[in-house]
Structure 1
Amino acid sequence: MSDSAEEVVEELDSLGHLTGVEVEEEDLGGPVDGPDFIQTPFDPELIDVVTRNTTVDLMLSRVRTRRVDLQPDFQRRAGIWRNQAKSRLIESLLLRIPLPTFYAAEDDDEVWAMVDGIQRLTTIVEFVEPDAIDAEPLRLRNLEYLGEEYDNASFAELPPRLQTRLRETELIVHLIRRGTPDEVKFNIFARINTGGLPLSRQELRHALIPGEGRSILKEWADSEAFKSTTGYSVRSDRMADREMILRFLAFRLADPFTYADDDFDAFLRSSMRSLNKLRKARVDELWEEFERAMNGAYEIFGNYAFRKVERRGGTRRLPINKALFESVSVNLAMLTEEEISVLTRRRRRVERKFLDLMSDVDFQAAISQGTGDPAKVRFRFEAIKEIFTSAVA
């Protein structure tokens, strides 16, 4: 295995540890032997990236007027940086140490979605103008060089010359202009997304596709129906929970049994945009289906819902499997309350058939590797449907 392949494996292991969900090779940009995920060629002339030399003061103006989307619930949540790390960042600016480059994408309203550098920018806003994002004012702690003089200082307590120095600090932003094709935009961010913990695919979708869909995914992921059925084991830090909800909705808005999209990531991006356009009545209808599916999955499978089972009599509970989650939940959502009640009464029969299915090599492949492949999508949905149909009959 190459060094780059080993690095991807380490990233996948790290992501699985953080999320509580079985990790697919595609989660960080593609299979281990090929991290790029553009499926079809694109015209390089369509790439429109410009460099903006701005200042802290001008960025604060954009934040204040909502022309920068900081997405406060994005990127491992606000607590990813502790006070000392934030303080050291501000100290670097006071010492005139340049910050790394920021990356952003421009939407149709010319709002900048910050994708790389959001923690740095949020820290600056928390210190200089916390009211702009309704944050608690940041006070400097444990400074390395300026501690004796400015420990515990707020921005207002700094000398005017240092306040001016901060406000006039230059920032470099690489901006992907509106009009750049989605697949190119996502690929660019995947390529430059190499520092610290790389963004998951869902974090990128969240960053680059604003709208009501964000709220829907968050609300459903925070619901008791989802949390209890998944055993409270799916962590929200990397938005794995929201991706699972998105996958359910994507296959309720499209027919999984005729799925033929060669680019699964593009399919999910398109589905997230569709969420932004749904009327409330349709969202409410989908929620009823989702809640019914969650309740049904728990009644039928108990604590092993959406998880692989190693063998008959096995007691080890494996992580949630996203491909199982979507294929089981969507099939249940298509059933009536009465049909789910029948499955619940006959759950031993369902369990036996499910265990037999877990021994099928083709099914294991359909829920483990290359899960976005159209043939594998159709196969796993049909296999789960057959279990439920035969048990209900």
Structure 2
Amino acid sequence: MTNLESELEAARRTISTDSYPMSVGELTNMYMGGDLIIRPPFQRLFRWDDDQKSRLVESILIGIPLPSIFVAQDKDGRWELVDGLQRISTLLQLQGLLDQDAFPALTLTGTKYLPSLGGLVWDHEDDEKALTPAQRRDVKRAKIDLKIVQRESDPKTKFDLFQRLNSFGSKLSSQEIRNAQLVGVNPDFVEWLTGLASHEAFGTLIRLPENDIKRKYDEELVLRFLYLHEKSDDEIRSIRNFQDGLEEFSINLAINFDYDYRVAAERVFRDTFDRLVAADEKILGRWDGAKQDFKGGFLNSSFEALAVSLGYLIRNSIDARTDLRECAIEFWSLDAMTARFATGKSTEARLSMMVPAGREIIGA
């Protein structure tokens, strides 16, 4: 057996799938009965505007086949949505079945082929304002092909499947994609991650634009901190693909998340950012020697050199300097800290310089 054949055999053993069509009505009934799961953190990624939603309804009414959706079977036999959130959520919202506070029943807009859809809803006491009973039946009877990842499949494989499905033409951020599948592995872990991102000192220091917050970049930074602050300098320098390492770390952490880790990591996280914000709320910006102040927004280089380094020292009970503002100024005084370096290196190259340099400066 060749190496490739061995690899194929091993990979195929990690995932078991099935496939068959179901009607929109059947899927709706499964959702209402609790057998089709769209977890709340996943549902927050529902981003289509009303025009996109109306074009989906148009496609169904004029008979255009819909793409497959993917579900993963959990240990109780329920199906968790893996790919197809926008389509399924649109069909549920159309019927008024999603959280009414977050997603009021859909009012359709006019479309290319069906301009008269504009202003119509699923059901209304005034017949002229709603889809007809025949049109509603057409929607409910429309078939969608389901790809089912069965429960005996490896959880890491399910995670990888979601990542791959959402990397083609998706506008979701890396962390949105990551969260959506992690919540299927361990929703408590994702809730904890969200809680850390809401820590006041952390939010004050990173000062992210609203759009970055919506796209969960703050939660990605929390994961980056957790991933990197545990590593030695040699381990930092040995990182070859940062994103792959972060994915592997996050899925393993969600699977093996326990109370002891939670308490220890939360203590280090809060202590790190509480110390930094006490030193200077703008400390994660760039030091401007001429103005004797930190300028601009949050920088990854500062985050890695200061926050990740300080977290490492706290976690390992290594004495750290208390004059963190002076530490940051020293960091920005290093010969290597030029604009060219900060923007011209890969993540891996930047980490291999920033983290060890920060630890050397901050260490007492």
The interval holding the TM-score normalised by the smaller chain is 0.7 to 0.9
Change in Cα spacing, 1:44 to 1:144, as seen in structure 2 (3 Å) is: same
Find the residue that maps to 1:130 and give its secondary structure.
coil
- After superposition, the C-alpha distances for 1:44-91 in whole angstroms (9 at most, x for unaligned) are 43353432311112222332244434244448744x222232223223
- Compute the displacement of 1:293 (Å): 1.5
Paired residue for 1:13? none
Q: Residue 274 of structure 1 is aligned with which of 253, 259, 268?
A: 253
* Cα offset, 1:216, TM superposition: 1.2
Deviation at 1:354, TM superposition (A): 3.6
1:295 match: 274
Deviation of the 1:93 alpha carbon? 1.6
Matches within 5 A, 1:121-160: 121-131=88-98, 135-148=103-116, 151-155=119-123, 157-160=130-133
Unaligned runs of 5+ in 2: 1-5, 125-129
The reply on whether 1:50 has 2:50 as its aligned counterpart is no
Give the alignment's TM-score, normalised by structure 1: 0.70
Matched, 1:220 2:196: yes
1:63: which partner in 2? 31
Evaluate the alpha carbon distance shift between residue 63 and residue 154 of structure 1 in structure 2; reply closer, same or farther with a 3 A threshold.
same
Work out whether residues 75 and 151 of structure 2, in 8 Å CA contact, stay in contact via their aligned partners in 1: yes
Q: How does 1:329-340 map to 2 (within 5 A)?
A: 329-333=307-311, 334-335=313-314
Partner Cα separation in structure 1 for residue 154 and residue 74 of structure 2? 12
Letter in 2 for 1:216: W
Select 1:203's aligned residue among 161, 176, 189.
176
Cα distance change, pair 186–218 in 1 and its aligned pair in 2 (3 A): same
Taking a change above 3 Å as real, the CA distance of residues 256 and 185 of structure 1, as seen in their structure-2 partners, is farther
| SS of the residue 1:138 aligns to | coil
Alpha-carbon distance between aligned partners in 2 of 1:69 and 1:327, rounded to the nearest angstrom: 41
What is the deviation of 1:338?
12
Match of 1:359 among 319, 337, 359: 337
- In the TM superposition, 1:168-187 aligns within 5 A as 168-181=141-154, 185=158
State the SS of the aligned residue for 1:274. Answer: helix
Q: 1:166 aligns with which of 139, 145, 169?
A: 139
Larger Rg: 2
SS in 2 for 1:103: strand
- Per the TM alignment, residue 316 of structure 1 is displaced from its structure 2 partner at its CA by 6.1
Separation in 1, partners of 2:37, 2:305: 34
> Percent of counterpart pairs with the same letter?
22
Contact between 2:68 and 2:147, CA under 8 Å: does it hold in 1? yes
- In structure 2, the residue matched to 1:33 is none
From 214, 217, 227, the counterpart of 1:250: 227
The aligned residue for residue 323 of structure 2 is: 343
Does the 8 Å contact 2:110/2:117 carry over to 1?
no
SS at structure 2 position matched to 1:161: helix
Corresponding letter in the other structure for 1:296 = R
Tell me if structure 1 keeps the 8 A contact 2:20–2:146.
Answer: yes
Q: 1:90 to 1:330 in 2, by over 3 A?
A: same
Q: What is the identity, as a one-letter code, of the residue corresponding to 2:179?
A: H
SS of match in other structure, 1:172: strand
**Aligned counterpart, 1:27:** none
**How far apart, CA to CA, are the structure 2 residues paired with 1:319 and 1:342?**
21
Which residue in 2 is equivalent to 1:230? Answer: 206
Partner Cα distance (2:252, 2:49) in 1: 34
What amino acid maps onto 1:176 in structure 2? Answer: V
Corresponding residue for residue 388 of structure 1: 362
TM-score (norm 2): 0.74
Higher relative contact order (CA 8 A, sep 6+): 1
Q: Give the secondary structure class of the aligned counterpart of 1:151.
A: coil
- Contact 1:106–1:178 under 8 Å retained in 2: yes
- Alignment partners' CA distance in 1, 2:74 and 2:99: 21
Letter in 2 for 1:130: L
Distance 1:258 1:101 in 2: 45
Aligned CA distance change for structure 1 residues 232 and 147 (closer, same or farther; 3 Å): same
